[in-house]
Amino acid sequence: MRALLLLLTLAFATVAHAAIDTYGFDNDTQRERFAALTRELRCPKCQNQDLADSNAPIAADLRREIHRLMTEGKSDEEVVNYLVNRYGEFVRYKPAFEARTWLLWLGPGLLLAMGAGLGWILLRRRHATAPAATLDDADQARLATLLKSTDDD
């Protein structure tokens, strides 16, 4: 039993230390920039992982490349553009706002506005057609007799 447990632990051991490589940084700001960049960029091979997360060889290459560009003193924007020029807009988790992506950015807001507009129209219409809550004299008299008759019981 113990041997089996040990075997099981060993079987999962590789997963635990995925995507760890060592890079030297001059200071903590650089380190944080690197972490932020690799989280913001997407691995082209393993599409639902960011570069920081993935242990695909291509992700390791791209991390190395990002580190190289950073040590050359490139800004975040230049690093992102460098990768977008090679791998396409796809590698950004935050695509640029342009003709092709406006619907992606504005879609949720537009849908919300449409829903709110529709809700408003429906509410207003229901309000307009709701029967008047006040009673006229005849109804008041009827109500009084009804109440009176229940009092007598």
Partner 1 sequence: MKRVWLAIPLVLFIGLSVVLYRGLYLDPSELPSALIDKPFPAFNLPSLEGGQPLDRTALLGRPALVNVWGTWCVACRDEHPTLARLAEQGVVIHGINYKDDTAAANRWLRQLRNPYQVNVSDPQGSLGLDLGVYGAPETFLIDAQGVIRYKHVGIVSDQVWRDELAPRYQALQSEARQ
Q: Can you give the binding site for partner 1, defined by CB under 8 A?
A: 44-45, 47, 57-58, 61-62, 65, 84-90
Letter for the amino acid at 47? Answer: Q
**CB neighbourhood size of 39 (10 A):** 13
Q: Which is nearer to partner 1, 6 or 113 (CB)?
A: 113
Q: How far is the CB of 72 from partner 1 (least distance, A)?
A: 15
Q: How far is the CB of 77 from partner 1 (least distance, A)?
A: 17
**CB neighbourhood size of 34 (10 A):** 18
Q: How far is the CB of 107 from partner 1 (least distance, A)?
A: 12
Q: Which is nearer to partner 1, 34 or 42 (CB)?
A: 42
Q: Which is nearer to partner 1, 6 or 118 (CB)?
A: 118
**CB neighbourhood size of 67 (10 A):** 19
Q: How far is the CB of 44 from partner 1 (least distance, A)?
A: 4
- Of the candidates 138, 47, 131, which has an alpha carbon nearest to the alpha carbon of residue 92? 47
Q: Which is nearer to partner 1, 126 or 148 (CB)?
A: 126
Q: Which is nearer to partner 1, 88 or 119 (CB)?
A: 88
Give every CB contact of residue 93 below 8 A, 6+ residues apart in sequence: 40, 41, 42, 50
Give every CB contact of residue 44 below 8 A, 6+ residues apart in sequence: 58, 87, 90, 91
Cα-trace Rg, the chain = 33
Q: How far is the CB of 61 from partner 1 (least distance, A)?
A: 6
Token digits for 79?
């690093």
